[in-house]
Structure 1
Amino acid sequence: MAQGTIGNSEFDRDTAVTPLGPGLHEAELSPGWTILGAVNGGYLLALVGRALAGVLPHPDPVTVTAHYLTASRPGPARIRSEVVRAGRTLSTGQASLTQLDEDGREVERLRVLAGYGDLDALPDDVRTTAKPPPLPPYEECPGSRNAGGGGAGGGVAALLGSTEIAGRLDVRLDPATAGWALGTPSGNGEMRGWFALADGREADPLALLLAVDALPPTAFEIGLSGWVPTVELTAHVRCRPAPGPLRVAVTTRNLAGGLLEEDAEIWDSRDRLVAQSRQLARARLG
């Protein structure tokens, strides 16, 4: 695979949007970012985020909230976006992604409300009690591209390798949160691992919108099987990430009424908390 760079990579090509008129873009949802036929929610967030960057006066996503209304499928899509407010340091926009169904009717898949700013203009004063997640070295964690990490490695590689999106990512999981791959989930509702794009493209703010939804669901470590469709996802981008793989930690504290939350933190190679997210997802019980 050719080395990817920001602006020239598979991720950039597959999240490209083409202007059709004021506030209107078309896009092609790539089958390479699917899980069991459905397009990954983080990929959709990044694609719509790119469209919003084309209409808002500020360059970077700071806060993005998406409601996933119906499952997106590979193929053509349109994004309608508008400026809600343009301020001096923060601008707000909204966007809607639609596709045509089998009968040719337009169906809304995703609706987004987002705030954009300039991450390079933020003050560098940081006061936090948050700490990076403890992870084994990158090379020792199992993923779709390696089966390290002891007995769980083969199971992790098999499951991740069975999804189309796995070929676009280099996700390596902490063996301590991969017991589900051996049929012995911990029950703790935690998932930790390393994240990078498979072609070596470094992460930028749009890639962070992908990364918050890139690890296997915490439901696996709770003891559930099957994928977990997102209902709503809010991501906060805190700063531009430094080069290198990202560390991702996701936790679930409450599953009730067939719904669970996933809280994610993303840390860069300089031990900075570069993004956070919370999503509400459906848990397939029974």
Structure 2
Amino acid sequence: MDGNNCPQTRLLDLGLKDLWRYRDLVLLFVRRDFVSTYKQTILGPIWFFVQPLLTTLTFIIIFGNVAKLSTDGLPMLVFYLSGITIWNYFAQSLTATSTVFRDNAHIFGKVYFPRLTMPLAIVISNLVRFGTQFTLFIVVWGYYLIFSDKVQPNWLIVLTPLLVVIMALLSLGLGMTFSALTTKYRDLAILLTFGVQLLMYATPVIYPLSSLPIAYRWLILANPMTSIVETFRYAFLGSGTFSWGGLGYSLLISLLVLLLGTIIFNKVQKSFTDTV
């Protein structure tokens, strides 16, 4: 069965039953994404550790030592690494899912399977990357927890899985939306890459929310990633801001984006082979 003869799909249908039936295929795609990324690299999965460390060191030099941005009195290494660890999962999942249709047109045009398996597999495979980088963060965090009194964790650490789920929903919804749109407008993929980089500066990754003028904080708080980063940092480091309302807002926006992404994705998947 080719891609144009796939079963009729309702716009709001996530196809959860089909996804469960094709769960082995999802795992196969997860393995494929993991292997293909590092198969021909010298360091292989070690890049999971190297990339956030190099990024953190760059931030320490540029934003910490040169720009003298505040870190709320926290050690720069653990402050920047906390933001990078959270941000990387969202950014990498969004960027990778945004080109699903374009990158896999040769498969979609030959055989039917639930199209959502591919973006879902990307979000899951990035959990492996996140788990590795989170382990690196825990090692650094543990060092400062033992040898410094500047790190004051609290019970909100238990919300970490919820934060990951919200990021997964948000990146999946946005990724499906852009994946559908890039089948017709190819330059959106380039715009998204640039946009994700700009969005990081609109998220308290390299600065604490408390360092911003009160009059402009609402602009940053409108970004659903803000509460996620701030909650993670507040939970593990004891510095930053936390609000149930802010976290609820992030969850609500993520669900709405997922709903919109599902509608657009299901609409485009019926005819995308004509435009890709």
Higher percent of residues as helix: 2
Question: TM-score normalised to the size of structure 2?
Answer: 0.26
Question: TM-score normalised to the size of structure 1?
Answer: 0.25
Higher percent of residues as strand: 1
